[in-house]
Amino acid sequence: MTAAPATIADTPAGVPTARQVRTHLRKARSRHHDHSLGDVLGDAYVMVLFVGMYGWFAISASRDLLDSPTVGQAEPGVRWWLAVAALLAGAGLAWRGLRALGPLLVTPATQSWATSAPIDRRAWLAPRFVLLLLGSAAGTAALAVAVAALGGVSEPSALGWAAGAGTAT
């Protein structure tokens, strides 16, 4: 009597956990890390420079706009609509950032083998999604408070409402 050949159905399926997949991906990325410390510091310098330049431009342009005679004489409703427009722009930027960094957009290599693996995708994707969601909510809340402060609001309760509106967007 000869034994029947083993089939795929006979082999035990070891389904990896989400933690095992994240650990494996982290180790694989660290093995392929070929950037020197100078490259990392150069990239960090460029990012800080761009954020500083564009941030300063946004602040000075907002102050100039809000201090201009046409806006200074405008009704408070017009100033609030400017704040709403800035909040919506911040929410749009946060959405673009979530799509670019978030767990729903993966590289082709990850898509070909990691997302096709039989793992619990919720446990794999949820921690990163929650962190990105909290980060974008905090960023839009800070933007809302900054816009309200630039608009001349100084009452703590009004700034709290602005932060709540920024978080909600």
Q: How high is the mean pLDDT of the chain?
A: 75
How many domains are there within the chain? 2
Is 27 domain-assigned?
Answer: no
The verdict on residue 96 lying in a domain is yes
Pick the closest to residue 169 from 83, 79, 88, 98 (CA basis): 88
Selection from 101-105, 112-116, 133-137 with the highest mean pLDDT: 133-137
Structural domain ending residue among the three candidates 73, 98, 128: 73
Q: What is the pLDDT of residue 8?
A: 42
Looking at residue 102, what DSSP letter applies? S
Of 45-49, 70-74, 132-136, 160-164, the range with the lowest mean pLDDT is 70-74
| pLDDT (0 to 100) of residue 48 | 92
* Interacting residues of 129 by C-beta distance below 8 A, sequence separation 6+: 102, 103, 104
Q: Looking at the structure, do residues 91 and 127 belong to the same domain, yes or no?
A: yes
The confidence band for 12, taking pLDDT boundaries of 50, 70 and 90, is very low
Task: Tell whether the model's pLDDT for residue 54 goes beyond 70.
Answer: yes
* Same domain, residue pair 60 and 81: no
Residue 118 has pLDDT above 60, yes or no: yes
- Return the structure tokens found at 20: 């095992």
Q: Name which of 162, 143, 49, 146 is nearest 93 in CA terms.
A: 143
pLDDT score of 39 more than 80: yes
Residue 33 maps to a domain: no
Task: Examine the domain organization and report whether 52 and 106 are in the same domain.
Answer: no
- Boundaries of domain holding 128: 75-110+119-169
Structure tokens given for 4: 């029947």
Segment of 4-8, 34-38, 82-86, 137-141 carrying the highest mean pLDDT: 137-141
Within a domain: 62: yes
129 belongs to a structural domain: yes
Contacts of 104 (CB under 8 A, 6+ apart): 125, 129
Q: Is residue 167 part of a domain?
A: yes
The yes-or-no verdict on residue 100 having pLDDT over 90 is no
Residues 79, 160: one domain? yes
